[in-house]
Amino acid sequence: MRFMVMVKATKDSEAGALPDEKLLAAMGKYNEELVNAGVMLAGEGLHPSSKGARVRFSGANRTVIDGPFTETKELVAGFWLWRVDSLEKAIEWVKRCPNPMPGESEIEIRQIFEAEDFGAEFTPELRKQEERLRGEMAARK
């Protein structure tokens, strides 16, 4: 099973505050443990929402909304992609994580859909296309 593990934004992260050397070292050690255990597939920090945008869809219309976005608790400051056997295993790994922010912080865990989750609607042709695209992405790395 794959999971997206999201570090929620805080007022400090949205203000552009960067982690100090101590936190960077602790996170580096933690990421090394994840990689060595075969758990971590990817992981990145994100710039504040003030450097981002949203695109709102309404039928055929598209509206661009520039950041910053006001609901800090709904924003993501960084993420990992993990492969573990269950949500419980992902929770175990998150509990081992250094606190990613000064003060209080929160990490959200969400399972990623796999091809088999879509049932018959994900036809053999669509599966073949998905496999081809994943192969192309892997080749570009």
**What pLDDT shows up at residue 141?**
80
pLDDT, average across residues 49-72: 95
CATH assignment of the domain containing 26: 3.30.70.1060
**Structural domain range at position 113:** 2-140
Mean pLDDT of the chain: 95
pTM of the full structure? 0.90
**What pLDDT shows up at residue 73?**
79
Q: What is the DSSP string of 76-133?
A: EEEEEEEE-S-HHHHHHHHHTSPPSSSS---EEEEEPP-GGGGGGGS-HHHHHHHHHH
Count up the domains in the chain and report the number: 1
Measured CA to CA in angstroms, residue 7 lies from 14, 108, 130 at distances of 12, 7, 28
- Whether residue 70 is predicted with pLDDT greater than 90 in this model: the reply is no
Respond yes or no on whether the N-terminal peptide bond of residue 100 is cis (omega within 30° of 0): no
